[in-house]
């Protein structure tokens, strides 16, 4: 897909905000695609640059950019998956080894890492910004016409897997965003009854 994005606005430049009904229509029907149905082509290098630029444009209390992106593609992604597979098998865990299909099959993965900074901003808010980066990356890839899936799975939480990925200190995996072209269109999933999740606060004190 040819994407002509406006240049990144300069710091302090006024940015006119216009309604974007196309974005609303997109959000009304976008769906994640099961990772194991994702095949080539994946976003190109130029498209990935755009996706990461958009993902980095998230709300971020304190302007800390408390996240980073690790791109996993080609032979490096295969090697990462092989290291995880060896780890699972060394523990005799065939179930964990089998779960690696979601990482092996899609052609492109971006690991979004919550990378908290020393700051007065609570770590929780920094992690929320990393979650927002995952969602923005997911939505942007889907809006570009690719299939995408945000997963975590055991290797997001396993300390040895985190070390293989290169995490340090207090870093955590916010998500692995898998991308490619869906071999079949996703089916709608169950959605919550929104009204059951909404209340209006009233002062009863
Ligand atoms: C933080 C987070 C972690 C997730 N981890 C997994 C996972 O490990 N495996 C999985 O099958 N789905 C996982 N999911 C759910 C998938 O993203 C799922 O495809 C998604 O809920 C589909 O919803 P959508 O079509 O509205 O995007 C996770 C979702 C979130 C937000």
Domain range annotation of the chain: 33-182
Going by CA atoms, what residue is nearest to atom 17 of ligand 1?
150
| Ligand 1 pocket member 32 (CB < 6 A) | yes
Tens of pLDDT, residue by residue over 172-182, are: 999 999 999 99
| Ligand 1 pocket member 142 (CB < 6 A) | no
Task: With a cut of 90, say whether residue 1 has pLDDT above it.
Answer: no
CATH number of 33-182: 3.40.109.10
- The answer to whether 30 touches 22, Cβ cutoff 8 Å, is no
Tens of pLDDT, residue by residue over 32-52, are: 999 999 999 999 999 999 999
| Ligand 1 pocket member 151 (CB < 6 A) | yes
Average pLDDT over every residue of 9-23? 96
Per-residue confidence (pLDDT) for residue 4, from 0 to 100: 82
Closest approach atom of ligand 1 to CA 34: 19
- The answer to whether 106 touches 182, Cβ cutoff 8 Å, is no
Give CA–CA dist 103/81, Å, rounded.
7
Angle formed at CA 143 by CA 4 and CA 186, multiple of 5 degrees: 155
Per-residue confidence (pLDDT) for residue 3, from 0 to 100: 78
Tens of pLDDT, residue by residue over 103-160, are: 999 999 999 999 999 999 999 999 999 999 999 999 999 999 999 999 999 999 999 9
Band of the pLDDT at 92, cuts 50, 70, 90?
Answer: very high
Tens of pLDDT, residue by residue over 49-71, are: 999 999 999 999 999 999 999 99
């Amino acid at each position: 897909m040819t994407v002509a994005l406006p240049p990144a606005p300069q710091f302090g430049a006024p940015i006119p905000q216009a309604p974007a009904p196309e974005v609303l229509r997109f959000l009304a029907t976008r769906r994640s695609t099961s990772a194991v149905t994702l095949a080539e082509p994946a976003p190109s290098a130029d498209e990935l640059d755009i996706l990461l630029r958009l993902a980095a444009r998230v709300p971020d209390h304190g302007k800390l950019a408390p996240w980073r992106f690790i791109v996993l593609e080609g032979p490096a992604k295969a090697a990462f998956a092989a290291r995880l597979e060896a780890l699972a098998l060394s523990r005799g865990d065939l179930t964990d080894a089998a779960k690696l299909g979601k990482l092996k099959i899609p052609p492109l993965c971006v690991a979004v890492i919550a990378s908290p900074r020393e700051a007065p901003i609570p770590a929780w808010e920094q992690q929320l910004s990393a979650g927002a980066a995952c969602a923005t990356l997911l939505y942007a890839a889907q809006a570009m016409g690719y299939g995408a899936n945000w997963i975590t799975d055991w290797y997001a939480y396993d300390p040895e897997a985190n070390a293989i990925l290169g995490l340090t200190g207090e870093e955590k995996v916010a998500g692995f965003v898998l991308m490619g072209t869906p071999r079949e269109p996703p089916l709608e999933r169950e959605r919550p009854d929104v009204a059951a999740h909404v209340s209006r606060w009233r002062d009863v004190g």
